[in-house]
Amino acid sequence: MKFVGMLLLYSITQTIIFESASIFTQKKYVLMHHNISALTMVLVLGILIIMWLFGTFIVPAVWRVLENHSRPFFKAVVWEIKIIPKRWQFFLKKWKQLLQNPTFLRTLFLTWFVMLMCMGILMNVTQQNSTANQDELDAILKGALGQKIALNIIAIVVAPIFEETIFRHLVVQSLFKYEGYLPDSLLDAIALIVSACSFGLFHQPANFVEFFLYSMMGAFMFWMYRRYGLEGSVSLHMLNNTVASVGSLFALGLMI
């Protein structure tokens, strides 16, 4: 159930940031983009919960712990919470090492460039100028200063970390419980499809083209995750969102 917990924590974090911004600007709290529609939430959670339930039966030891050993289970939960700071420190240390690696940086920017080219070609062929998701973001950027600051903090820092943890790390870790039951190539293909499609659904596509666009982004981030780990996919996500946020501010004439 880590998926559900991370989604709830992600939602709470966004709410806190936007509420703080509303206090700063003395404006009514408005959150358009991050009020995830009920349908989208049901679809995403449904996929992830089904994966978790199925994995539980494949790995019966997990089920036995939950059913017969509640005390060890809660001890395990407490242990998971305790080691969060250590995991965060390890993440930052590894991330810093990656950012000092010229090969990683070349791969990062080349992957980002290829991703943009593929998305650009798809949008040009389908005559899709923007997405509903981006239109909502632009509407928030036209709001008060505090809303712009809050949205950029979420887009550049919060979203990449949470979304990559949920849609890359947790998805892959859950599916690789089946290692030994299925061929590695098949597991990789399933993980890619589930990770990319869940990511696409999460961004509330208004049509199939938008769904495919965000799923394509998810696929590129999955590739970075498989090559460089969570730090790699977070880096690509942050790079893309940073450029997109700055580009939107320039396009709307809202640079502050």
HSE-CB of 63 using CA atoms within 13 angstroms: 9
At residue 105, the pLDDT reads 96
pLDDT of 71 over the 90 cut: no
Residue of 185 and 43 predicted with greater confidence: 185
- Percent of the chain residues past pLDDT 70, beyond the cut: 63
| First CA to last CA distance, the chain | 41
Average pLDDT, the chain: 75
Alpha helices per DSSP H over 59-204 = 60-68, 70-82, 84-99, 102-126, 132-141, 145-153, 159-164, 171-175, 184-202
Distance CA 108, CA 228 (A): 10
**Model pLDDT for residues 82-132, shown as the tens digit of each residue:** 555 666 777 888 888 999 999 999 999 999 999 999 999 999 999 888 888
- Which of the residue ranges 51-60, 62-71, 222-231 has the most confident prediction, judged by mean pLDDT? 222-231
Q: What is the CA radius of gyration of the chain?
A: 19
At residue 150, the pLDDT reads 78
| Residue pair 225/114 in contact by the 8 Å Cβ criterion | no
Task: Categorize the per-residue pLDDT at 37 as very low, low, confident or very high, splitting at 50, 70 and 90.
Answer: very low
At residue 222, the pLDDT reads 96
Residue of 87 and 254 predicted with greater confidence: 87
**At a CB cut-off of 8 Å and minimum separation 6, what does 17 contact?**
150, 153, 154, 158
| Residue pair 40/47 in contact by the 8 Å Cβ criterion | no
What mean pLDDT do residues 42-66 have? Answer: 51
Task: Categorize the per-residue pLDDT at 8 as very low, low, confident or very high, splitting at 50, 70 and 90.
Answer: low
At residue 5, the pLDDT reads 53
Distance CA 234, CA 150 (A): 19
pLDDT of 28 over the 50 cut: no
Give the position of tokens 């950027």.
141
HSE-CB of 200 using CA atoms within 13 angstroms: 22
| Residue pair 162/237 in contact by the 8 Å Cβ criterion | no
